[in-house]
Amino acid sequence: MSGPSDYQPTNPALKWIERRLPIMGLVHSSFVAYPTPRNLNYWWTFGAILSMMLALQILTGVILAMHYTPEATMAFKSVESIVRDVNYGWLLRNMHAAGASMFFLAVYIHMFRGLYYGSYKEPREILWILGVIIYLLMMATGFMGYVLPWGQMSFWGATVITNLFSAVPYFGESIVTLLWGGYSVGNPTLNRFFSLHYLLPFVIAGVVVLHIWALHVAGQNNPAGVEPKTEKDTVPFTPYATIKDLFGTCCFLLFFAWFIFYMPNYLGDADNYIPANPGVTPAHIVPEWYYLPFYAILRSIPNKLAGVVAMFSAILVLAFLPWLDTARTKSSKYRPLAKQFFWVFVLVCVLLGWLGGKPPEGIYVIAGRVLTFCYFAYFLILLPLLSRIEKPRPVPNSIADDVLAKTGSKSTPMVSTVIALAVAGALFAGSARDARAEDHEEAPPSQKWSFAGPIGKFDRGALQRGLKVYKEVCSACHGLSYIAFRNLADAGGPGFSVAQASAFASDYKIKDGPNDQGEMFERPGRPADYFPSPFPNEQAARAANGGALPPDLSLITKARSYERGFPRFIFDFFTQFQEQGPNYVDALLQGFEEKPPAGFALPEGSYYNKYFPGHAIKMPKPLSDGQVTFDDGSPATVAQYAKDVTTFLMWTAEPHMEARKRLGLQVFVFLILFTGLLYFTKKKVWADAH
Amino acid sequence: MTTASSADHPTRRDFLFVATGAAAAVGGVVSIWPFVSQMNPDASTIAAGAPIEVDLAPIAEGQDIKVFWRGKPIYISHRTKKQIDEARAVPVASLPDPQTDQARVKEGHDQWLVVIGICTHLGCIPIAHEGNYDGFFCPCHGSQYDSSGRIRQGPAPANLPVPPYQFVSDTKIQIG
């Protein structure tokens, strides 16, 4: 394609292939000999990072698809069985879910780099537009992927986003029905989303090939915005860019690993651990953090169709950038006004993202409208204006001159922007989770949990006591259907032996059949059986509990959360705080009050609880002192029961937590060492290029 | 590109490159393992393959039943005296896959034959009480097994395999 290639293999077999399909020459000219500007900074490593993320998402996705069932009644359970039963299933799932967020983070950085350095300008317009197409495909893929686990957010996010198309005049309803394959989001929708979610990443891969081809025609842009003129301006891609990309990728992997192993639910929503319920909409529907700015723009416009048009326009306007910003100078380094407004624009985007996670009330609405205006004004008013009136600083004569003129200030902007990005990212991520509890509820007190932190472990005694509390108190109304008796003997759990788990199982009567007479019968439990539910179906459960459905407790500590508030959710990222669920459950169990406060109208049949949203809970106080006696002599108090049963329920929600943290430590040690090695290797390779 | 390094003795640069390359190789290989291991049977499949107990009391003499264990069909035959004698009368050396009948049943329980009902040729399920040997006949390619489940005729190379099992009581076995 472009770049010098005098590549001729010496091996006769390779020569034979090369003559018929010159693939080695292609690889050589594109990725080995390819002339790369020698002044590229680390913002340019994100192209390689994105390629790695695409490959990783496809690999983990194809593997997850070997175990996932895309059917509405089985999807949620199949995801849980991946996490619980498939070898390393928890790792693959975490990689894929966190990977989606990392993919979007990398793409936003990649896009902002393009904005700042004018990488969309002539002759790279088509390269840029192909990028916008890739971004749109990524958004579609990410949206459909999030629907697949079929949790509450999956279902309701699908409902809200597909309903957007009903804004289309005249054809809207028909389009939505076509998308749904039914009269509402349901099984047909899930099935087709699965098919398309599997397909689109390969479409993305195809467009990426075009994207790289277009890139290689024009060559990379560079921080000076001056095109290469002589051989002195460039270095061969291998080993220079290759090693630099590898190092950058490794640093990114470290950041990625932090989420996979230590903060797997930080970027997600607790509501998605509740199976989809078409009859109950969550109090705060929020998309994943990477859609939040566009969600804010959508909600800012009071008109339905105009809001939808504004949201899509916010993405499409990017495609017109090369014609909106016609300034000759490419790099904002030499455009002082454009540089300042660029950072203002970044702030606008971050704030829009933060607003997207807030409920659309009061000042948030006004702020949203102002920021939406700012967003469009940047593209449609400011950039064209600056093209005309701005006086840019003189650009260097050549890339070689730019490299020689380096005063060492190159690294500081990188570091400070990384820090700014980290804070912005934490703001974003925390804001998505803060969507709940704008109701000024009292936050549950933070407890000390033995399983918290990077080396946290379950207290085996607490797990066994908690199991006893569950069995003697909670199991009367609440199921635990994701836990099998054999799990009691698994590593990282309550520490039963296989024989003890079998004995425990045989105490239970499990319904089985039909037998040869066609009848159902009861038999003693076996290790492979799951904890039986106290009621045969939902209707029986409601009838026995005054119309309320006691939720299954297997996932309860991951399905509940509360607002941590700013700036705590930023610190949470660094302290690995993931214990909102356990804090809530523990507080709720102890938060019952005999008399509601004055002025509070408690509905008939409900009980007052300090921490339950809305304070009126259908469950009567379940725990009282002396209810359960422990063999190890632990105090028979409500506080002890609450702590132990919550610890037990954290284990039922995530049985492989200890394995996750243990492997995380090993991966981190390796990655830190490897990154260090790569850093020094990169320095050595580049030593003679500077 | 790079300046010609002294190839006389390994330099610090070479050590660094070798170390980085080795770390990359090790990291790569170790990272592959979860992606391969996930295809092995998962915990619920392994749990479903746990041993099963079969009650032999309802099986009359001359009758047989078929149960499933780990997805495989298992024939449990309550053999008649005639079948046992016929199986024991065969000269072992003349069999394509020599094995005595005694080696294929449990001592003291000679009337019970427990075999995996998968033809050792290409995997079809042979039909019981068929064929010239009062044993099994595989309709796919004509393999014939005798009343001890041993191959006598046809393309199958080996006898019907005997799964691991033991007698829990005189009328109950545990398979697996």
Q: Which of these ranges, A306-310, A623-627, A657-661, B47-51, has the smallest mean pLDDT?
A: B47-51
Together in a domain, B60 and B12: no
Mutate to test the interface with B, among A36, A87, A515 (most CBs of B within 10 A): A87
Query: For position A234, what pLDDT does the model report?
Result: 93
The residues, ordered by sequence, that sit 6+ positions from B119 with a Cβ below 8 Å of its Cβ are: B125, B126, B138, B140, B143, B156, B160
Query: For position A60, what pLDDT does the model report?
Result: 98
Mutate to test the interface with A, among B15, B42, B65 (most CBs of A within 10 A): B42
- DSSP letters for A595-649: SPPTT--PPTT-EEESSSTTSEESSPP---TTSS--TT-----HHHHHHHHHHHH
Does pLDDT of A505 surpass 80?
Answer: yes
Residue contact A674–B35, C-beta within 8 A: no
Query: For position A437, what pLDDT does the model report?
Result: 43
Query: For position B18, what pLDDT does the model report?
Result: 93
CA distance A307 to A573: 33
Q: Give the tens place of pLDDT for each residue, A348-401.
A: 999 999 999 998 899 999 999 999 999 999 999 999 999 999 999 999 988 888
Residue contact B50–A528, C-beta within 8 A: yes
Together in a domain, B59 and B106: yes
CA distance A676 to A673: 5
Together in a domain, B72 and B99: yes
Together in a domain, B51 and B13: no
Together in a domain, B34 and B118: no
Query: For position A436, what pLDDT does the model report?
Result: 47
Together in a domain, B104 and B158: yes
SS (H, E, C) A329-363: CCCHHHCHHHHHHHHHHHHHHHHHHHHHCCCCCHH
Q: How confident is the model at residue B14 (pLDDT cuts 50, 70, 90)?
A: confident
Query: For position A690, what pLDDT does the model report?
Result: 65
Chain A hits for B38, CB-CB cut-off 8 Å, are: 63, 66-67, 86-89, 92
Together in a domain, B31 and B75: no
Active-site residue flag, B141: yes
Q: How confident is the model at residue A688 (pLDDT cuts 50, 70, 90)?
A: confident
Residue contact A89–B42, C-beta within 8 A: yes
Closest chain B C-alpha to A183 CA, distance in angstroms: 36
CATH number of the domain at B107, please. 2.102.10.10
Nearest CA in chain A to B17: A681
Query: For position A1, what pLDDT does the model report?
Result: 44
Does pLDDT of A5 surpass 80?
Answer: no
From B20, B34, B38, residue closest to A677, measured CB to CB: B20
Together in a domain, B153 and B97: yes
* Higher-confidence position of A402 and B120: B120
Together in a domain, B55 and B9: no
Query: For position A425, what pLDDT does the model report?
Result: 64
Together in a domain, B32 and B71: no
Query: For position A412, what pLDDT does the model report?
Result: 47
Residue contact B47–A81, C-beta within 8 A: no
Is A3 within 8 Å of A30 (Cβ atoms)?
yes
Closest chain A C-alpha to B136 CA, distance in angstroms: 25
Does pLDDT of A315 surpass 50?
Answer: yes
CA distance A627 to A612: 23
Mutate to test the interface with A, among B38, B39, B40, B69 (most CBs of A within 10 A): B38
Does pLDDT of A73 surpass 70?
Answer: yes
Together in a domain, B159 and B84: yes
Residue contact A680–B47, C-beta within 8 A: no
CB-based contact, B38 to chain A, within 8 Å: yes
Query: For position A484, what pLDDT does the model report?
Result: 97
Q: Give the tens place of pLDDT for each residue, B102-161.
A: 999 999 999 999 999 999 999 999 999 888 998 999 999 999 999 999 999 999 999 999
From A59, A490, A678, residue closest to B20, measured CB to CB: A678
| Average pLDDT, integer, range A404-427 | 60
Chain A hits for B174, CB-CB cut-off 8 Å, are: none
Does pLDDT of B12 surpass 90?
Answer: no
> Which residues are paired to A234 by β-bridges?
A37
Q: Which of A373, A400, A65, A397 is nearest to A199 (CA)?
A: A65
Closest chain A C-alpha to B150 CA, distance in angstroms: 31
**A392: DSSP letter:** P
From B20, B27, B38, residue closest to A87, measured CB to CB: B38
Query: For position A429, what pLDDT does the model report?
Result: 58
Does pLDDT of B4 surpass 60?
Answer: no
CB-based contact, B16 to chain A, within 8 Å: yes
CB-based contact, B11 to chain A, within 8 Å: no
Residue with tokens 């010496």: A10
What residues make up the domain containing B15? 1-40
Does pLDDT of A222 surpass 70?
Answer: yes
A 598-617 residues with CB < 8 A to B: none
Q: How many A×B Cβ pairs under 8 Å?
A: 68
Residue contact A81–B44, C-beta within 8 A: yes
Query: For position A415, what pLDDT does the model report?
Result: 59
Residue contact A684–B47, C-beta within 8 A: no
Domains and CATH numbers, chain A: 12-269+278-383 (1.20.810.10), 460-663 (1.10.760.10)
CA distance B29 to A148: 31
Q: How confident is the model at residue A213 (pLDDT cuts 50, 70, 90)?
A: very high
CA dist B103 to A343, B54, B157, Å? 83, 21, 18
Nearest CA in chain B to A60: B35
Number of compact structural domains in chain B? 2
Mutate to test the interface with A, among B2, B14, B20, B59 (most CBs of A within 10 A): B20
Residue contact B34–A92, C-beta within 8 A: yes
Together in a domain, B33 and B79: no
| Average pLDDT, integer, range A448-459 | 95
Query: For position A27, what pLDDT does the model report?
Result: 93
Neighbours of A4 (CB within 10 A): 12
The residues, ordered by sequence, that sit 6+ positions from A141 with a Cβ below 8 Å of its Cβ are: A197, A200, A201, A204
CB-based contact, A662 to chain B, within 8 Å: no
Q: Give the tens place of pLDDT for each residue, A474-496.
A: 999 999 999 999 999 999 999 99
* Higher-confidence position of B48 and A690: B48
CB-based contact, B58 to chain A, within 8 Å: no
Does pLDDT of A438 surpass 50?
Answer: no
A 114-133 residues with CB < 8 A to B: none
Closest chain A C-alpha to B97 CA, distance in angstroms: 37
Is A463 within 8 Å of A651 (Cβ atoms)?
yes
Residue contact B38–A67, C-beta within 8 A: yes
Query: For position A565, what pLDDT does the model report?
Result: 79
From B3, B23, B47, residue closest to A528, measured CB to CB: B47
Report helix angle A89-117 to B12-37, nearest 10: 130
| Average pLDDT, integer, range A53-82 | 98
Does pLDDT of A574 surpass 60?
Answer: yes
CB-based contact, B17 to chain A, within 8 Å: yes
A 311-340 residues with CB < 8 A to B: none
CB-based contact, A517 to chain B, within 8 Å: no
From A486, A673, A680, residue closest to B47, measured CB to CB: A486
Q: How confident is the model at residue A420 (pLDDT cuts 50, 70, 90)?
A: low
The residues, ordered by sequence, that sit 6+ positions from A453 with a Cβ below 8 Å of its Cβ are: A575, A576
Q: How confident is the model at residue A442 (pLDDT cuts 50, 70, 90)?
A: confident
Chain B hits for A670, CB-CB cut-off 8 Å, are: 23, 27
Q: Give the tens place of pLDDT for each residue, A115-140.
A: 999 999 999 999 999 999 999 999 99
Residue contact A85–B37, C-beta within 8 A: no
| Single-letter amino acid, residue A288 | E
| Average pLDDT, integer, range A205-223 | 96
Q: What are φ and ψ of residue A354, in 5° steps?
A: -65, -40
Q: Give the tens place of pLDDT for each residue, A454-477.
A: 999 999 999 999 999 999 999 999
Q: Give the tens place of pLDDT for each residue, B19-31.
A: 999 999 999 999 9
CB-based contact, A89 to chain B, within 8 Å: yes
Chain A hits for B2, CB-CB cut-off 8 Å, are: 239, 685, 688
Residue contact A528–B20, C-beta within 8 A: no
Residue contact A88–B37, C-beta within 8 A: yes
b/e sequence A490-518, b meaning 16+ C-beta within 10 Å: bebbbebeeeebbebbbebebeeeeeeee
CB-based contact, B4 to chain A, within 8 Å: no
CB-based contact, A236 to chain B, within 8 Å: yes
Query: For position A403, what pLDDT does the model report?
Result: 83
